[in-house]
Structure 1
Amino acid sequence: MTAHTLTSNHPASSLAAPPASVIAYARGLVKTYGAGETEVRALDGIDVDFARGELTAIMGPSGSGKSSLMHCMAGLDTVTSGTVVVDDMNVGRMSERQLTALRRTRLGFIFQSFNLIPTLTAAENITLPLDIARRPVDRAHFAAIVAAVGLEDRLHHRPSELSGGQQQRVACARALVARPAVVFADEPTGNLDSKSAGDLLRFLRGSVDDLGQTVVMVTHDARAAAYAHRVLFLADGRLVHELTDPTQASVLDVMRSMGDETEAEHEHDGARR
């Protein structure tokens, strides 16, 4: 495992185009909220690359900008300045209509709250992005994803008839069914028990290793981050550390070095239980 401290944020003009192995990137990314004395600079000139076929975790204290980074990368929030490119498309220059089309076809989303439609069955929830986009369902791909998340016998059940872990697995399958360029996951294990969380994380890592999927996951959990190929750490809207081949212990070490003692100790205590 390797940790890197990132000490500078470069202007976009000073950076060469990323290699072909990079599927999404940001250059000079700034995101502010409010104006004048109430302005909050959530992202402060971030340069970052996300590699194809990797699981990247984004971590940092509350208010560090991790969710803002993911939302800007995914086109869920507008960029104040800088460049965001996903799958060769400049997200920051897209109209809302273009962004909607992008989110339906090239991006997958997994949220802590599941966001399933209660009146639809599990199968209908999974195929919803394709149905909205009026694209045919690849039944072989659908079957492979359903088998991977272990939902073969629950496809005709509605969300109210499923456990929390099963609902999140439906949300995962929905995120993958359209073969997106990148899947963005925002605290995907936050509402799950430890067993369901482990099942979900193994599935996400498997989708990367076996299907070549790219996943970017925001998490506060060192155990979840240990499933990633790489962990990025944010503080005050800047990238401050990078960890490759992480373990739970190495993630906790970085969290402590950043002064996130409360969260680190909480994770350490949880690991001992």
Structure 2
Amino acid sequence: MTTSPYGAPTAVRTAAPAAVATDLTKVYGQGETQVVALDSVSVEFRRAEFTAIMGPSGSGKSTLMHCMAGLDSVSGGSARIGDVELTALNDKKLTQLRRDKIGFIFQAFNLLPTLNALENITLPMDIAGRKPDRQWLDQVVETVGLSGRLKHRPNQLSGGQQQRVAVARALAGRPEIMFADEPTGNLDSRSGAEVLGFLRNSVRELGQTVVMVTHDPVAASYAGRVIFLADGRIVDEMYEPTADAVLDRMKAFDAKGRTS
């Protein structure tokens, strides 16, 4: 089996996508206060790929992630995880899908201070009454470099280590797709690079699908693909990005915004 330049096996890339948006629309408010956050967005997130979503403030990038992750309702169009249409699910089914098929990583680590690292990692499965796959869990812990820190509580860990726990927690349930919202926003550059490396390794070594919202061109360069939003629409796409290429593209958007 051959691989793409950024690690995803080509056989996986031709498989059904992990998530699909079709003419996805999200509108907030009514009348004069109405804001169109997403304007008929169509995009696929393929399995075993790392995709970054970028755009100026207010472009709709976080809204797109929240709608695709079932955290926010949609106003029109379709959002699917695998072959499951999110807009057809009631609240109970949506909660179950988020629990069973989606992993989340946020800027705030969201760890429980009274639990150690291992307990935080397995907490979602404990709540669901599911036993972790020990072999998979060991592989995840090794991938994110936490083998020697599992008995430590959050206050005994650095910010980077806490975010590694959050990454492991998102991976532990072997989700269909993992969404990360500015996962390095609270980290210094070294810790941020470590976490981004772990996310990239989860794609390359574990076959995970990762979608990350970020404003940082350096963070985006860890992804295999970057999609760019402006005014609620996808306006560009880049494969095998470099930080400089992403920064140049963002500067072009800023310049266009100033002259429009």
Q: Give the TM-score of the pair, scaled to structure 2.
A: 0.91
Distance 2:145 2:22 in 1: 39
Contact map agreement 1:112 1:187 (CA 8 A) in 2: yes
Q: Percentage identity across aligned positions?
A: 60
Aligned residue number for residue 254 of structure 1: 249
Query: Given residue 52 of structure 1, which amino acid in structure 2 is its aligned partner?
Result: R
CA distance in 2, matches of 1:35, 1:121: 46
Give the deviation of 1:20 after TM superposition.
3.4
Q: CA–CA distance in 2 between the matches of 1:260 and 1:127?
A: 46
Q: Name 1:12's counterpart in structure 2.
A: none
**1:166 match:** 161
Q: Displaced runs of 4+ in structure 1, greater than 4 A?
A: none
Mapped partners of 1:20, 1:139: distance in 2: 27
Gap change, CA 1:25 and 1:135, over 3 Å in 2:
same
Note if 1:181 corresponds to 2:176. Answer: yes
What CA distance in whole angstroms lies between the structure 2 residues aligned with 1:233 and 1:20?
A: 24
Counterpart contact for 1:105–1:129, Cα < 8 Å: no
Q: Are 2:16 and 2:82, in contact at CA under 8 Å, matched by a contact in 1?
A: no
Equivalences for residues 240-251 of structure 1 within 5 A:
240-251=235-246
Measured after TM superposition, the shift of residue 235 of structure 1 is 0.4
Aligned to 1:218: 213
Give the aligned partner of residue 237 of structure 1.
232
Q: Distance in 2 between matches of 1:219 and 1:226?
A: 11
Q: Matches of 2:230 and 2:97 in 1, distance apart?
A: 29
Match of residue 209, structure 1, among 158, 182, 204: 204
SS of corresponding position for 1:153: coil
1:83 matched residue in structure 2 = 78
In structure 1, C-alpha distance between the alignment counterparts of 2:29 and 2:255, rounded to whole Å: 27
The aligned residue for residue 126 of structure 1 is 121
| 259 and 210 in structure 1: CA distance in 2 versus 1, 3 angstrom threshold | same
Aligned residue-pair number: 243
Unpaired runs of at least 5, structure 1: 1-18, 262-273
1:194 is aligned to 2:180: no
Q: Deviations over 1:115-172 (max 9, x none)?
A: 1111111111000111111111111111111111111121111111111111100000
Which amino acid counterpart does residue 176 of structure 2 have in structure 1? Answer: A
How much has 1:260 moved relative to structure 2? Answer: 6.2
Structure 1 residue 141 corresponds to structure 2 residue 141:
no
Q: Structure 1 residue 256: deviation in Å?
A: 1.2
The letter of the residue matching 1:187 is E
Q: Which whole-Å CA distance do the structure 1 matches of 2:199 and 2:100 have between them?
A: 19
Structure 1 residue 21 displacement after superposition: 3.6
